[in-house]
Every structure is written in structure tokens, then in C-alpha cells.
Structure 1
Amino acid sequence: MLRVGGHSPWFARPPQKGAPRRVFCFSFAGGNASTYRGWQALAGARAEICAIQLPGRADRLLEQPLEALADVVGAVAREINLLDPAPFVVFGHSLGALLAFELARLLQSAGLPLPEHLFVSACDAPQRRRPLRRVHDLPADELKSVLQSYAATPPAVLANDELMELVLPAVRADFRMAFDYRYRKADLLRIPVTVLAGCDEHDPDALEVTMWREETQRGFKVHWFKGGHFFILDHDRAIVESVLGDWSAMAQSHAVSK
């Protein structure tokens, strides 16, 4: 891992010393930190958006991608712990939600500072995950077709064979990470959990959504958005407001109940 000017490559932009609050964000499989490029302008001075950049993509394109979820979570936990203390929450979409969930679990079990809230987006409750295809083992052309069907990868990237040759190792690593993930019971989280879900992907009473409640001993809430699995690409403002609003509301509720 190469640090440039003291800046950790795990963050798309250097976290600012003295930030009042931070939102650490994990992208979906095959995505990168640019998923959250518009969030800082929407959050303004209310919070610093810290998008996580995994190896093998964007400015880390030439680095070896990580295939084990525990390796990613462990590295990010260390990086967060090196920052100056500030209240924070963790957000993740799809595979990123599993990373966010396991990061919160790791921080809690290690006795490290906890996020004040966990936000999981477009992700089945870990104990109710549906079986996944072995997408990571597909030939390159078939894997590109899968990415095209998801409509989350820019067409210009999909059409660039040389770029795709560089990008696909990270895509495969992400899908393998999701495929290999196995849920294990652990202590309930001592922080609130908010689920964000797409109306076209789940029914309101779907256990894949509601069973996230079983992972926390604190508050629980669900927000619904128009769209399917990648609704995150169309609702930046509403999602940012949901994150910051729930964070503040549940933090105040906890303070009053003490």
C-alpha cells in the first residue's frame, strides 16, 4: 500500500483533521469510490463524506485486488482508527453493506470506537441471503454482459477492451468476496441500523429486509426508494438526507433515553 503525502489510499480524498462528523461509504461489487462523488456537496458542512477506495480500481487500479472480506474490513478498521477522533457512521450498498456490517462487528468485538449508526443499502439480511451465481468464474465476455445488464458500469468503460482488462480482476474479486461470504452469529450491534431498499427489488414485508432488525439491540428503520437494486444511482439527495437525518434523530433519542 503506497501512501502519497501521508494520504491513505483507502480514502478517495484525504479525511480532514477536525471534521465534525464522518460518513464512511463502501460501494457495490465492481464499483468504486466515485459512487459517492456527489455526496459531499449534498452533505455540506454537516458531515465529511469519506468514500472507501478498495485496491484494484480508480487510482489504485494497478494494485492487487483483495478477495477476502476480512482482509478489507481489517484494513479499513486500522485506517479509521488512525484518524483523529470524530463521530462517524458507516454506509454500504450491496456488497458494500456486508463490508459495512462486518466492519461494525469487528470494531465492536475489538473494543474500538464504534460508528454511531450502520446504514445498509440494497443488501439482504446476512442470515437470509439468497444463493449467488459464480459470476466471478465467468469468461470475460459473459462477465461483461452481466455488468451491462446491471446498468451500473458506464458504457464507455464496457466498450473499452483495454480498460476492461484492467478492471475485471477487481470485479471478479468483489463477486468472489460476495460469493464466499458466510454469516456467523455474533453479539448484537450496540448501534442503530437503518436499511435502504428498492421497491422493485423487495416487498415491504420481505424477510430479507426486516430480518436486519435481528442484528441490533438498538433502533431500527427502513427507507424505501423507487427502483431496483441500483436505486442508489438515482436518489443521491434523498439518500444523503436519510442518512444524516436518521443519524441525528436516533442519536438525540439515545441521548434523551440515557
Structure 2
Amino acid sequence: MSNRAPSGALIAFKPRLTDNPALVCVPWAGAGAAPFRAWTSVFGTAAAVYGVRLPGRESRIDEPFFEDVDSLVKSIVAEVESLGDRPIVLFGHCSGALLAYEAARALGPRVTRLVVASQLPPAEAARTAADELGSRESLAERYLGEDVADDSEMRAVALEILEADIRAVSGYQFTPGRLRIPITVFHGMNDREIRSADLAGWVAESTILSEIREVANADHMFSGAAWANLAELIAVELGLVTV
């Protein structure tokens, strides 16, 4: 078991529960680890919630962005390996789902389950990745909240991070190879970007039965109350809480 503490790239929001399962959360393009802080109240002591903080944001604002998916995945893998032999669940939202998927492939049996939300299956995402770049206005409309979009300084910083992440993901190339762990896919029923039917390809990415879960009152970003609801649904799916 590794004794190396996670670096500033993997954020534990509470004192580390070294014997409990670790839920390692990979954010969407442009985001940092902070959104996952709210999930700690849902999981309590049942699991330790970690947020992945990639270069160029939050406390790593002065570090250069990674330019490709391979570099992003390698950094995530290195951080997960620092958690030792405890059970690991990887969660990824939007483009973070692709990074979590590739990290799960690289880590093999160290990961017990992959959970993703609001992302096309890897093979389909690879075919459409370059289309994500678009214009700055379309990116701001899709990804930035009103509080950021209406502040010119915050908007400029956020768009720089967002564009860097999407450039990296735009070069994503899918290589076939099925996981040997369950995959759970969450999809907001109010998602106007991805249809439920578009997600069927995720089932083919595992040798074990995988499922797609529809979530009522949730949009593509799982905004507002849907964000905490998503955490609750994941906790139930993992058998960490009961309903």
C-alpha cells in the first residue's frame, strides 16, 4: 500500500478515511474539484469523496494546461495509485467521463466500478469530439453559469480553462477494449444535448451488466438540486446508503 499522500491534484474534502471506499470524481471541461465538496454530506463516512483538480484552475491556476487526453489520464492514474489498496470508484461528468473511463482501463482491477453522467459512449465521443470546440459564445452558453458569464473577468478566465480542456479532449481517439467492472450511466431527462438512446453504446464497454439510469428534473449539467440528487443516486447505486 502506498504511503504517498495525494498531491494538490486530488482533493480530499474531509480527513482521509483510509479504510473506506474512495469515490474519485473527475469534473467536466472547465471545472475543478470544488463542485464535489457538496457531496461529502451525502456520503458521510461511507466513502471518502475526492475531487480531481487538473492544472490551470483553482489552486493550480499557475500550472500549464495538459494538451491531450493521455496526459490528463496519466495524471489521474498517478493520483488514484496514491490511495493504496482500498476500493476505488471512478466518477466522471461530461468530458470527465471519458477521462474516468480511460483511467479505469489503465488501472484495471484497482477500480471496482465506473460511474458516468452526461456523456456519449467513448466510441461515439471520439467521432464527435472535435465538434465540441465551437465558438466562445456557444461554449459560454453551454457551460458557464450566469454568475460567471455576466462577470467579464471571471468569464475570460473560465473560457480560457474551458477551451484548453476541450482542445485536449477534441483529439480523443478511442481504442476498443472492454472493462471488467460494472458501468452505471446517469442521464438527465431534461438534457437537451444528449438523448437516452444515444447512450446505449456504454453497455458494450463492459463485460459485466451495465445500466443507464434516467434522472427526472435534471439537465445536462445536473444543475441546482439535481447535483445533490445525483450524489444520492450514486450512493444508492453503490450500496452505501439505502432508500
> What is the TM-score with the length of structure 2 in the denominator?
0.85
Instruction: Give 2:212's aligned residue.
Output: 222
| Secondary structure of 1:71 counterpart | helix
Tell me how far 1:67 sits from its aligned partner: 2.0
CA contact (8 A) 2:17 2:45 kept: no
- Of structures 1 and 2, the larger Rg is shown by 1
- Identify if the C-alpha distance between structure 1 residues 7 and 116 changes in structure 2 by more than 3 Å, giving closer, same or farther: closer
Instruction: Give 1:238's aligned residue.
Output: 229
CA contact (8 A) 2:222 2:230 kept: no
RMSD: 2.4
Tell me how far 1:164 sits from its aligned partner: 3.9
Instruction: Give 1:256's aligned residue.
Output: none
Residues 205-227 of structure 1: CA deviation (Å, up to 9, x unaligned): x1x21110101011211111233
Instruction: Give 2:123's aligned residue.
Output: 127
Residues 33-84 of structure 1: CA deviation (Å, up to 9, x unaligned): 1221210011111111101001001111111111211111111111211223
Tell me how far 1:232 sits from its aligned partner: 5.2
Instruction: Give 2:24's aligned residue.
Output: 24
Tell me how far 1:132 sits from its aligned partner: 4.6
Percent identical residues: 26
- Identify if the C-alpha distance between structure 1 residues 128 and 107 changes in structure 2 by more than 3 Å, giving closer, same or farther: same
Tell me how far 1:233 sits from its aligned partner: 4.6
Matched, 1:199 2:204: no
- Identify if the C-alpha distance between structure 1 residues 184 and 232 changes in structure 2 by more than 3 Å, giving closer, same or farther: farther
Tell me how far 1:102 sits from its aligned partner: 0.4
Matched, 1:213 2:203: yes
CA contact (8 A) 1:191 1:218 kept: yes
Aligned length: 232
Query: Which segments of 5 or more consecutive residues in structure 1 lack a partner in the other structure?
Result: 1-5, 250-258
Mapping for residues 146-161 of structure 1, pairs under 5 Å: 146-150=138-142, 152-161=143-152
Instruction: Give 1:74's aligned residue.
Output: 74
Tell me how far 1:165 sits from its aligned partner: 4.0
Query: Which segments of 5 or more consecutive residues in structure 2 lack a partner in the other structure?
Result: none
